[in-house]
Structure 1
Amino acid sequence: MFFSKCSQMSPRSAKRCVLLIWIMSVIVSLPHGLFHNTYEFPDDDGKTIVQCLPVHPDAGWWKTYNVYLVIIQYFVPMVILDTAYTMIAVKIWTLSKARIEMDETKMANQKVSFDIKLV
């Protein structure tokens, strides 16, 4: 197996991790809620269109925040998934290679015992 039983997370630790993830998610997404405002625009038909647009005090800060979000929401999960899939692929490759070597050894032993019986 990949991981031993003793390395598994307890239900209490799992709950703490999930809670931490939710807290971090709320904190990271707060600027979107705090720095957006709704605006009403008249339409050609006389209707009103409501749009939610960003209102930020500093454009540099907003660009930095968006770069941070791209890193946190795209690159970090991608690296985690790539690492996990690589670990799985290496484990499968190692196990299949060991099985092929075991099968070859077994076949060689059977051939030797067959040759001994013929003599």
Structure 2
Amino acid sequence: MYEKRRPLSKTNALITNLAVADLMMTILNIPFNILRFVLDNWPFGETMCKLVPFIQSTSVHCSSISMMFIAIERYRNVVGTVQDFRQFNQRKCWPHVRTLVLIWSLSVLLSIPHGLYNQLVSDRFLALTRCKVTYPSQQFRQWLTIFTLLSQYLTPIFITIICYMRIGLFLWRRRIVGTVSEGQRLSINRRKKRRIKMLFMVVLVFAICWLPLNVYHILSDFKFINYRSVLFFTVHWFAMSSVW
């Protein structure tokens, strides 16, 4: 007889979702962004001009929000009571699906402006067509930059860090109880701490990689510095490296 498969846990579903978002960024965004910087002419049409930045924003929002939900679920698993943990493991997949739908819906909704205001701009003198972002006004651009910084970077990372700090504090103060042997308890705690460290490292890499690009957008959009293509390409490449 075949062993009955255990339902996919919510944390594993979120980790898989995080991997899917990173894979989507790698396949559908990074190659086009490289060509966008290298080529003088945009050869892929207006649809791709709007779709590429939209996919990028959706993928990044999905990654950061997924990391936030992973931290929340890990907090519930570690800090919650034994009864809560058993109920959590016995749930079917539908709550996972609802969570994933919520994450992707939020990511798509928050990313619409990043695709909507990209369009092809023709230079008749040079006979070139470029894919450029054209916001209604500089003030709109500044507000969108602040909003994106909060929704895609600061808020998810802040909540994630708070959850992992609470988990670490709980594990540090926790007294080991139960009927299992001392070696089993230590082994279980080591596995939990190792997984938490791994997830925290994912958040740390994401935060470090995307910090320069977010800082650049703030400084550039608020006219503290002038636009510099080489600098922008460098910080943009560094941000994309978070998925490699």
**Pairwise TM-score range, normalised by the shorter structure:** 0.5 to 0.7
* Partner secondary structure for residue 161 of structure 2: helix
Superimposed CA distance per residue, residues 71-101 of structure 1 (whole angstroms, 9 cap, x where no aligned partner): 0111111112212211221122112xx46xx
Match of 2:121 in 1: 39
CA distance in structure 1 between the partners assigned to 2:130 and 2:160 by the alignment: 36
Higher strand share: 1
- Structure 2: which 5+ residue stretches go unaligned? 1-76, 177-244
CA distance in structure 1 between the partners assigned to 2:97 and 2:121 by the alignment: 40
* Partner secondary structure for residue 160 of structure 2: helix
Shift of 1:39: 2.2
Say whether 1:53 aligns with 2:135: no
| Paired residue type of 1:58 | S
Task: Report the TM-score when normalising by structure 2.
Answer: 0.34
Match of 1:62 in 2: 141
| Paired residue type of 1:25 | S
Task: Report the TM-score when normalising by structure 1.
Answer: 0.64
- Structure 1: which 5+ residue stretches go unaligned? 100-119
Shift of 1:47: 7.6
Q: Which has the higher contact order (CA 8 A, sep 6+)?
A: 2
- Between 52-61 and 19-28, the greater mean CA deviation after superposition: 52-61
Q: Quick one: which of 159, 169, 173 aligns to 1:80?
A: 159
Percent identity among equivalent residues?
21
CA distance in structure 1 between the partners assigned to 2:115 and 2:121 by the alignment: 15
- Count matched residues: 94
Say whether 1:29 aligns with 2:108: no
